[in-house]
Structure 1
């Protein structure tokens, strides 16, 4: 028998996966319930505000996981801006390949469709981008870049990574991450 906590966790994980693959609008509650195995009554117990509340939790889970990955990469490449870039794009490329190029970035997918649907979820996604950009900026500041330069590089890295995921999905190849690594290491971090 499934516990309520397991049902809740599975619903969040399923929503996160589906939002990454097909977006928010194309993902219905019926699909989430079916694929997660969560009973409808359990779903509304955990998410009384429905799909929007589930999306909030999926966003928070995704952002927390992204921040943890960024902090781990930063820790492993302490003081090494080029090493950080290499490791970051290597991790993203590996994730894309591991999901057979099906998974986009949850924040990017939702950012593309939420502004006209839900202002609160849009703000949550924007905060997720701001938080992850700040971690990247902190790494570059720790590598000796002035604050404004570090923030500029971090914004460029985030924008490039989001575009690269889209290109990787379309091409079903991680080659774009190699190209970004070369461009950033030789063009921005010299």
Structure 2
């Protein structure tokens, strides 16, 4: 069973006005891709404008505070997609902790393969650059990890885990996923996801 994380841009049509929000969507999509590949600091606004094709005037209409506002909305968009994926996985493995863990690792591994091992986690990349982030970006990144962990913990509780065990297991799983992304990018193989899935399954099966 495969669940796709990546999403594509879309164009809205309102009262006969075509491509009304296309520039905004393309800017967010381009920023997400670049932040995931090369990080926040290394991504300049000029590169985002060039690769998204968004006119400068249109860009500042949608993001009057510039790169910082674009980053805020990009983080929010990324978190929303990540939450949707986790909820989908949870729904497809309701009541089954082992299946849940295996599907999470296989889903994230599949995304790494699909991106040719270029994409890191946007939240992890930005978290690694905390000195370059303002307080609002830092808060948003932290919220993303908190919400992701909460959904995973909720699934484990529904599988009968005690609250404390559900929380600690969820936190460990999120940390493992972020570490796996880094190793997979370096080694250009999803093997680390498979290894972590097996180790996690063994721990979950233990009394």
Instruction: Specify the TM-score bucket, using the shorter chain as the normaliser.
Output: over 0.9
TM-score (norm 1): 0.97
Whether the 8 Å contact between 2:75 and 2:122 is mirrored in structure 1 is yes
Which residue in 2 is equivalent to 1:39?
55
- The C-alpha deviation readout for 1:50-109, integer Å capped at 9, x for no partner, is 001000111001000000000000000000000000000000000000000000000000
- 1:166 pairs with 2:185: no
Q: TM-score, normalised by structure 2?
A: 0.89
Instruction: Compare 2-11 and 137-146 and name the one that shifted more.
Output: 2-11
8 Å CA contact retained: 1:79, 1:142: yes
Match of 1:91 among 107, 112, 117: 107
- Which of 29, 35, 42 matches 1:26? 42
Q: Quick one: distance in 1 between partners of 2:176 and 2:32? A: 22
- After TM superposition, give the deviation of residue 120 of structure 1 in Å: 1.1
Where in structure 2 are the equivalents of 1:1-190 lying within 5 Å? 3-190=19-206
Runs of at least 4 residues off by over 4 Å: none
Q: Take 1:172 and 1:41, find their aligned partners in 2: how far apart are those partners?
A: 39
Report how many residues are paired: 190
Measured in 2, the distance between the counterparts of 1:4 and 1:75 equals: 35
Query: What's the CA shift string for 1:163-182, capped at 9, x where partnerless?
Result: 00000000000000000000
Q: Any unmatched runs of 5+ in structure 1?
A: none
In structure 2, stretches of 5+ residues that fail to align are 1-16
Deviation at 1:3, TM superposition (A): 2.7
Tell me the alpha carbon deviations over residues 123-153 of structure 1, each in whole angstroms, 9 at most, x when there is no partner. 1000010001000000000000011110000
Contact conserved, 1:115 with 1:122, CA < 8 A, in 2? no
- The structure carrying a bigger helix percent of its residues is 1
Deviation readout 1:9-45 (Å, 9 max, x if unpaired): 0000000000000000000001000000000000000
In structure 2, C-alpha distance between the alignment counterparts of 1:51 and 1:136, rounded to whole Å: 31
- 1:136 and 1:115 map into 2 onto residues whose CA distance is 29
1:189 to partner: Cα distance = 4.1
Q: Separation in 2 of the partners of 1:86 and 1:186?
A: 11
